[in-house]
Amino acid sequence: MLYPERLTQFTKEHSDTVAAIACGLLLLLGAIALHLNFFGLALLLLPAAYVIGGYESAREGLTTLFQEKELDVDLLMIVAALGAAGLGLWQREYHLIIDGAILILIFAISGALEGYAMRRTERSIRSLMSLTPDIAMVLRQGREVSVSISQLKVGDEIVVKPGELIPTDAVIVSGYSSINQGAITGESLPVEKTVGEEVFAGTLNGYGALKLKVHQPPESSLIQRVIKLVEQAQTEEPPSQQFIERFERSYARLIVIAGVLLATLPPFLLGWDWETTIYRALTFLVVASPCALMAAIMPTLLSGIANGARQGILFKNGSQLEMMGKVRAIAFDKTGTLTTGIVQVFQVISAGNYSQADVLKVAATVESVSEHAIGKAIVKAAVDLNWVSAVEVQAIPGQGIIGINNMQQVIVGNAAFVQKHVTNLPEELQKSASVLEEEGKTVVWVAQGGMGRQGGQGGQGGQGGKKQIPISPLSSPSPLSPPSLSSAEVIGLIALADEVRAEAAATIARLKALGVEQIVMLTGDNQRTADSVAQSVGINEVYAELLPEDKLDVIRRLQKQYKTVAMVGDGINDAPALAQASIGIAMGVAGSDVALETADIVLMADRLEKLAVAMDLGRRSHGIIKQNITVALSFIILLLVGNFLGNVNLPIGVIGHEGSTVLVTLSGLRLLK
Ligand code: ADP
Ligand code: MG
């Protein structure tokens, strides 16, 4: 019972393979029958071979012809085969019928092989998806109930046991465990996670039992979004492929016209006999068809995308993969990209009568709403101190943050930014800052004041005072503004340390080895800090103290010189530059949605060495495509010349033509490895 069922299943999935096998058997038997002079039997078997082997291509070819009014090369093949059969019957040269059937057979075999190749890339992409379980154990009135994923609601609490797959994106509410996020990041080293941290659907829970709270609808989980992006990437055709397809359409017409001329003129012009003429015209139809050219690009790019996805490198479409192979200059953001982005307060220096704790406290009041790594580090360092969040807080990307605390303006940020709000930066502090910056530390200045007296007079209630004074963080105090607005004073500085990624230097070296001509660093941070970090990773060209739009300008300039420029970044301040670059590459997807949306390539694992892997993959794809096109064109030219000189008969033409098509398809599949 089971066996026929499986057979039907197999036949359905591999109908192209089955058709090719049947066609081959019928052809073999037909040829034997012909050899033994059983003409009746041969005339039954051979047409059957034509129909079974050619049905699918003929159907598709005719659909294209009638619906889109376009000729496709499949149809040319069928016409060539039928032409050979017709010629055979007419001239009573029955071996021509066999030649035509061989054409159909080889065409069917190569079609089946290509089908197999496509199914393989698809399967390897789909294997990403099969990782999410279908059901989750949900806590309902203290009991575990199994619920299908699609029915999970935001707020549900679910239980995940050791060794189980995480069913949907959620936040840990109790327990801790090490989690293998390989499905998403391609990185099998487990990551420790505990209460408050986010876990992702499709990742594998380690030894701990976890209670999770669902915080977003299951259909918008990270893995689902990634899968959607990969699927989209598959359907979008890169410009090079579109070019080839347009080329195919006009080319197919050209072949038909040339074919007709070749079938009619030579007897008059060259004195060929009709049989030779028509035979060569049919062979021409076959060998001139650009099948191999058509197969040169897409299988290669699809395999590359699938390979990348397995390693945690998300290419949003095939053209970016191809483009990655042409990159000649790369710009790196510093904080969070070349460094871990896990910033820690290294030292606090206070000014005047203020204590170090004062400096931290005041800074924390505004940083409490910041998403910036610097802000988080300051808040963490000030967590045991007593403070409340400031109001009217405004972050200025790439510069600093400002707000009102206790009737006073608080300003935290880089020197240039803070300087706009204070009369001067104390000299001893500037000296300490230089020393710290030379060691690669990031220094932020903390200032406060400027509206204390006035706000105090404005009304004890507070709200009145706040409304009266417009805070415009961008406008620097002009000499004409009331003294109360410009009298903010520096109360100290905070030096932050951010470790350079362990893999940064090796990755930069690898990129240089791969032939990238220019590598630069772009940062909003101070020049000295930037130089120190750049030196430790092997970057010679540094652009520091940049605002987000300055980063974009640098990319533009690089593009003038190097054409294809990649930008690697992680933060909101990098978004304009990521968008401007030929390829925007974002680091680490867990958490930052900006990255997933604006970047062309996402390194899911948050590991820099994946950049070299992506580059290598791009180079290889680009190389294989070039190779494929060369092979395809050489075969076509070789066969055309051979045919004209009479050295190529139909079966050899077909083998050469289909052989080259299969060759380039398989060559593209090499990227799956
Ligand atoms: P990068 O380009 O290296 O990622 P950013 O552009 O995010 O750095 O920031 C540039 C500089 O602006 C920082 O080095 C810091 O001095 C200042 N800055 C930015 N945001 C903040 C903030 N929330 N608090 C304090 N300083 C900040
Ligand atoms: Mg950054």
Q: Is 186 in the pocket of ligand 1 (CB under 6 A)?
A: no
- Inter-residue contact 554 to 523 (CB < 8 Å): no
Quote the pLDDT of residue 424: 84
Q: Is 341 in the pocket of ligand 1 (CB under 6 A)?
A: no
Instruction: Tell me, in angstroms, the distance from the centre of ligand 2 to residue 573's CA.
Output: 7
Confidence of residue 593 (pLDDT cuts 50, 70, 90): low
Report the candidate in 88, 92, 81, 84 with the shortest Cα–Cα distance to residue 55: 81
* Token couple for 281: 């015209």
pLDDT at position 456 over 90:
no
Instruction: Tell me, in angstroms, the distance from the centre of ligand 2 to residue 512's CA.
Output: 22
Q: Is 339 in the pocket of ligand 1 (CB under 6 A)?
A: no
Quote the pLDDT of residue 139: 92
Q: What is the 3-state secondary structure (H, E, C) of 144-179?
A: EEEEEHHHCCCCCEEEECCCCECCCCEEEEECCEEE
Instruction: Tell me, in angstroms, the distance from the centre of ligand 1 to residue 497's CA.
Output: 13
Q: Which atom of ligand 1 is nearest to the CA of 413?
A: 26
* Structural domains of the chain, ranges and CATH numbers in brackets: 12-129+224-253 (no CATH), 135-220 (2.70.150.10), 313-328+502-618 (3.40.50.1000), 341-499 (3.40.1110.10)
What tens digit of pLDDT does each residue of 258-276 get? 999 988 998 898 888 888 8
Q: Measured between alpha carbons, how far is 581 from 513 in angstroms, rounded to an integer?
A: 22
Which stretch of 21-35, 131-145, 173-187, 479-493 has the lowest confidence by average pLDDT? Answer: 479-493
Q: Which residue has the tokens 């290598």?
A: 616
Residue whose CA is at the smallest distance from ligand 1 atom 4: 335
Quote the pLDDT of residue 253: 83
Q: Measured between alpha carbons, how far is 49 from 34 in angstroms, rounded to an integer?
A: 14
Q: Which atom of ligand 1 is nearest to the CA of 569?
A: 4
Q: Measured between alpha carbons, how far is 661 from 290 in angstroms, rounded to an integer?
A: 9
Instruction: Tell me, in angstroms, the distance from the centre of ligand 1 to residue 503's CA.
Output: 23
Task: Look at phi and psi of residue 353 and say left if phi exceeds 0, alpha if psi is from -120 to 50, else beta.
Answer: alpha
Instruction: Tell me, in angstroms, the distance from the centre of ligand 2 to residue 333's CA.
Output: 6
Residue whose CA is at the smallest distance from ligand 1 atom 27: 400
Q: Is 401 in the pocket of ligand 1 (CB under 6 A)?
A: yes
pLDDT at position 482 over 60:
no
> What's phi and psi for 410, nearest 5 deg?
-120, 130
Q: Is 414 in the pocket of ligand 1 (CB under 6 A)?
A: yes
Give the residue numbers marked as catalytic.
333
**Nearest ligand atom owner, CA of 594:** 2
β-sheet with 518-522: strand ranges across: 313-315, 601-603, 583-587, 565-569, 329-333, 518-522, 541-543
Confidence of residue 359 (pLDDT cuts 50, 70, 90): very high
Q: Is 374 in the pocket of ligand 1 (CB under 6 A)?
A: yes
Report the candidate in 63, 90, 85 with the shortest Cα–Cα distance to residue 282: 85
pLDDT at position 611 over 90:
yes
Quote the pLDDT of residue 497: 92
Q: Spell out a b/e string for 288-309, using b for 16 or more CB atoms within 10 Å of the CB, else e.
A: bbbbbbbbbbbbbbbbbbbbbb
Quote the pLDDT of residue 225: 80
667 Cβ contact partners less than 8 Å away, ≥ 6 residues apart: 300, 624, 627, 628, 631
Report the candidate in 561, 526, 575, 569 with the shortest Cα–Cα distance to residue 546: 526
pLDDT at position 246 over 90:
no
Q: Is 528 in the pocket of ligand 1 (CB under 6 A)?
A: no
What tens digit of pLDDT does each residue of 319-353 get? 889 899 999 999 999 988 899 888 899 999 999 89
Residue whose CA is at the smallest distance from ligand 1 atom 7: 398
pLDDT at position 364 over 80:
yes
Residue whose CA is at the smallest distance from ligand 1 atom 14: 525
* Token couple for 106: 């080889």
Task: Look at phi and psi of residue 407 and say left if phi exceeds 0, alpha if psi is from -120 to 50, else beta.
Answer: left
pLDDT at position 238 over 90:
no
Q: Is 372 in the pocket of ligand 1 (CB under 6 A)?
A: yes
**Nearest ligand atom owner, CA of 410:** 1
DSSP character string of 580-648 = HSSEEEEE--SS-HHHHHH-SEEETT--THHHHHHHHHHHHHHHHHHHHHHHHHHHHHHHHHHHHTT--
What tens digit of pLDDT does each residue of 125-172 get? 666 656 678 889 999 888 999 999 889 999 999 999 998 999 999 999
Q: Is 534 in the pocket of ligand 1 (CB under 6 A)?
A: no
Quote the pLDDT of residue 129: 59
Instruction: Tell me, in angstroms, the distance from the centre of ligand 2 to residue 572's CA.
Output: 8
pLDDT at position 623 over 70:
yes
Which stretch of 571-575, 615-619, 637-641 has the lowest confidence by average pLDDT? Answer: 571-575
Q: Are strands 170-174 and 198-199 parallel, antiparallel or unpaired?
A: antiparallel
Residue whose CA is at the smallest distance from ligand 1 atom 16: 414
pLDDT at position 461 over 50:
no
Confidence of residue 432 (pLDDT cuts 50, 70, 90): very high
- 258 burial class (0-12, 13-18, 19+ CB within 10 angstroms)? middle
What is the model's pTM? 0.76
Instruction: Tell me, in angstroms, the distance from the centre of ligand 1 to residue 443's CA.
Output: 10
Quote the pLDDT of residue 477: 42
Of residues 3 and 70, which shows the higher confidence score? 70
Q: Which H/E stretch holds residue 293?
A: helix 291-294
**Nearest ligand atom owner, CA of 588:** 2
Give percent of the chain above pLDDT 70: 91
Instruction: Tell me, in angstroms, the distance from the centre of ligand 2 to residue 521's CA.
Output: 11
What mean pLDDT comes out for the span 662-668?
89
Q: Which atom of ligand 1 is nearest to the CA of 412?
A: 25
Of residues 464 and 607, which shows the higher confidence score? 607
Q: Which atom of ligand 1 is nearest to the CA of 370?
A: 23
Q: Is 333 in the pocket of ligand 1 (CB under 6 A)?
A: yes
What mean pLDDT comes out for the span 360-373?
92
- Inter-residue contact 451 to 510 (CB < 8 Å): no
Instruction: Tell me, in angstroms, the distance from the centre of ligand 2 to residue 191's CA.
Output: 22
pLDDT at position 469 over 70:
no
What mean pLDDT comes out for the span 462-475?
37
DSSP character string of 387-447 = ----EEEEEETTTEEEEEETTEEEEEE-HHHHHTTBS---HHHHHHHHHHHHTT-EEEEEE
> What's phi and psi for 202, nearest 5 deg?
90, -10
Of residues 619 and 588, which shows the higher confidence score? 619
Quote the pLDDT of residue 565: 96
* Token couple for 456: 């105090």
pLDDT at position 56 over 70:
yes
In single-letter form, the type of residue at position 415 comes to A
* Token couple for 85: 């059969």
Task: Look at phi and psi of residue 356 and say left if phi exceeds 0, alpha if psi is from -120 to 50, else beta.
Answer: alpha
Residue whose CA is at the smallest distance from ligand 1 atom 18: 400
Q: Is 368 in the pocket of ligand 1 (CB under 6 A)?
A: no
What mean pLDDT comes out for the span 278-295?
86
**Nearest ligand atom owner, CA of 523:** 1
16 Cβ contact partners less than 8 Å away, ≥ 6 residues apart: 56, 108, 111, 112, 115
Report CA 164 to chain centroid distance, whole Å: 28
- Inter-residue contact 154 to 193 (CB < 8 Å): no
Instruction: Tell me, in angstroms, the distance from the centre of ligand 2 to residue 366's CA.
Output: 20
Residue whose CA is at the smallest distance from ligand 1 atom 12: 399
- Inter-residue contact 640 to 360 (CB < 8 Å): no
- 457 burial class (0-12, 13-18, 19+ CB within 10 angstroms)? exposed
Q: Is 337 in the pocket of ligand 1 (CB under 6 A)?
A: no
Q: Is 442 in the pocket of ligand 1 (CB under 6 A)?
A: yes
Enumerate the H helices of 420-525 as residue ranges: 427-438, 452-458, 463-468, 483-486, 504-513
Ligand 2 (ion): residues with CB under 5 Å are 333, 335-336, 570-571
Of residues 238 and 473, which shows the higher confidence score? 238
Q: Is 603 in the pocket of ligand 1 (CB under 6 A)?
A: no
